[in-house]
Chain A
């Protein structure tokens, strides 16, 4: 593209942003709001995903053994567990260690255990972790069938709940994304339609003197991309400060919370929002050109 031509396109876009300033402002605003909401969902879903997989990777199977097993039997069980698919680690916890841990966990209330006297009601156990979260259930079931194993338990419910919520959020976010993108495309295509209308004389003359269709289309396409892009930038900046404020608040109260660190995470989200804005803008103007330009 010739320099004078790109200059021409840029000038045309600026003129028409100015001419339609109210509509341009409205489109940028709609794009910004929509993309901001999308961005909120994106960050939420990504954070929850991260939380879920962190919890998942912490999921362990507690294997409680029947009382008074011989050490050799325990060794066989341990070997059998290790032989299962996808086992990461197996750790033996004897009943003394178990009660010690319980004592610690009870803290101030450890006097409750005094009532037991010298008796220790807790069983010996193995703590088993698996390489992939999906393997937890099958491993637990297999272990439970082994002789000498009383019970194999894991925190199935919590994780599954969390995953259910993320899945729901993802679906909800997707629906919302489609709706908002639709609304945004509609607004942008209407703005571009105004521009096309304002310039119908110019367009007619351009056709008479032999401008190519693409030469005629470019400024409009560019206008849509600029509108979407500016909206995207606004949304990204607002979301960024929003996230920073939220993160500060969360960290000050729940230090252990596994939040995505601001950098570089928010940069990626920002770029994604910007690109979505530009794509939405391009789609909006394309629709409008198809319907109203007839070139």
Chain B
């Protein structure tokens, strides 16, 4: 599903954010990417959906050779991925329904399918009855659930999340993790960068720990491993 061989990322500024990273993630994995601030977690995440290109190394995601692919194929790589950010990135002038439907419209999905799929994912994240609300009228947790609905509405093979609970209180964070858990059980691979020790320790999933751009630990059922 995800295959990294000797992947390095050096930014234009000369900062080495990732240094010879080797990782394989298989279908159905649930992976936490942990590490201190500035360790390279976001960089790792960005490489996966080709927001950034590796400086060297081999990177395959969902069957695409990310390094050597044609730029015109990038949209098709991304259609197989659902991306979620700490700051939700919803469109404030669109309703909940429209925000989610937008992700299908722009890949030219048929209208009837849009109606059906959007309702289905709003059910999954528990926001069916708020479909008419605008993001500004929702709590942070609800907004993040809309963002998750948008990320999964095109039925991606991998959901990629960069600190999705970073702005949320612990209880709301668990609602989000519950949704991720259900998506994962349904067969979707999940890669999530996080700072949240409690979540990582409690979930007991695969943990990849990054320190200064190096993978320092990769455990099948791990904990956060740091005292924070």
Of B75, B76, B91, B150, which one neighbours A202 at CB under 8 angstroms? Answer: B91
Q: B107, A208: Cβ atoms under 8 Å?
A: no
B109-142 Cβ-contact flags toward A at 8 Å (1 or 0): 0110000000000000000000000000000000
Of A4, A201, A215, which one neighbours B89 at CB under 8 angstroms? Answer: A201
Chain B residues whose CB sits within 8 angstroms of the CB of A211 once the complex forms: 75, 106-107
B74-93 Cβ-contact flags toward A at 8 Å (1 or 0): 01111101010000010100
**Interface positions of A from 190 to 222, Cβ below 8 Å from B:** 201-202, 204-213, 215-216
Chain B residues whose CB sits within 8 angstroms of the CB of A213 once the complex forms: 71-72, 75
Evaluate whether A209 and B107 lie within 8 angstroms (CB atoms) in the complex, with A201-B89, A202-B91 already known. Answer: yes
Q: Interface majority SS on A: helix, strand, loop or mixed?
A: helix
A1-36 Cβ-contact flags toward B at 8 Å (1 or 0): 010110010000000000000000000000000000
**Interface positions of A from 91 to 122, Cβ below 8 Å from B:** none
Q: Is B105 located at the chain interface by the 8 A CB criterion?
A: yes
Residue among B75, B76, B81, B83 with the highest chain A CB neighbour number at 10 A = B75
Report B15 CB to chain A, min CB distance, Å: 22
Report B79 CB to chain A, min CB distance, Å: 4
Q: B111, A4: Cβ atoms under 8 Å?
A: yes
Q: B108, A2: Cβ atoms under 8 Å?
A: yes
When chains A and B are docked, how far (Å) is the Cα of A208 from the Cα of B102? Answer: 12
Q: A215, B79: Cβ atoms under 8 Å?
A: no
When chains A and B are docked, how far (Å) is the Cα of A2 from the Cα of B106? Answer: 11
Q: B154, A210: Cβ atoms under 8 Å?
A: yes
Residue among A207, A210, A213 with the highest chain B CB neighbour number at 10 A = A210
Evaluate whether A204 and B106 lie within 8 angstroms (CB atoms) in the complex, with A4-B111, A210-B78, A212-B75 already known. Answer: no
Q: Is B31 located at the chain interface by the 8 A CB criterion?
A: no
Q: Is B30 located at the chain interface by the 8 A CB criterion?
A: no
Report A5 CB to chain B, min CB distance, Å: 5
When chains A and B are docked, how far (Å) is the Cα of A208 from the Cα of B79? Answer: 8
Q: A208, B49: Cβ atoms under 8 Å?
A: yes
Q: B89, A205: Cβ atoms under 8 Å?
A: yes
Chain A residues whose CB sits within 8 angstroms of the CB of B72 once the complex forms: 212-213
Q: A4, B105: Cβ atoms under 8 Å?
A: yes
Select from chain A the residue with minimum beta-carbon distance to B150: A209
Residue among A2, A5, A211 with the highest chain B CB neighbour number at 10 A = A211
When chains A and B are docked, how far (Å) is the Cα of A212 from the Cα of B71? Answer: 10
Chain A residues whose CB sits within 8 angstroms of the CB of B111 once the complex forms: 4
Evaluate whether A215 and B108 lie within 8 angstroms (CB atoms) in the complex, with A204-B89, A205-B91, A210-B154 already known. Answer: yes
Q: B83, A5: Cβ atoms under 8 Å?
A: no
Of B71, B106, B110, which one neighbours A209 at CB under 8 angstroms? Answer: B106
Q: A209, B79: Cβ atoms under 8 Å?
A: yes
When chains A and B are docked, how far (Å) is the Cα of A213 from the Cα of B83? Answer: 18
Chain A residues whose CB sits within 8 angstroms of the CB of B103 once the complex forms: 205, 209
When chains A and B are docked, how far (Å) is the Cα of A40 from the Cα of B79? Answer: 52
Select from chain A the residue with minimum beta-carbon distance to B73: A212
A-B contact pairs, 24 of them (CB 8 A): A2-B108, A5-B108, A201-B91, A204-B89, A205-B89, A205-B91, A205-B102, A205-B103, A205-B150, A206-B102, A207-B75, A208-B49, A208-B83, A209-B78, A209-B83, A210-B76, A210-B77, A210-B79, A210-B107, A211-B107, A213-B71, A213-B72, A215-B108, A216-B106
Q: Give B residues with C-beta under 8 Å from A.
A: 49, 71-72, 75-79, 81, 83, 89, 91, 102-103, 105-108, 110-111, 150, 154
- Could you list 8 further interchain pairs (A-B, Cβ under 8 angstroms) beyond the known A4-B105, A212-B75? A2-B110, A5-B105, A202-B102, A205-B91, A208-B78, A210-B107, A211-B75, A212-B72
Q: Give A residues with C-beta under 8 Å from B.
A: 2, 4-5, 8, 201-202, 204-213, 215-216
For the complex of A and B, list the 5 residue pairs with the smallest distance between their C-beta atoms, beginning with the closest: A210-B79, A210-B78, A211-B106, A209-B103, A210-B75
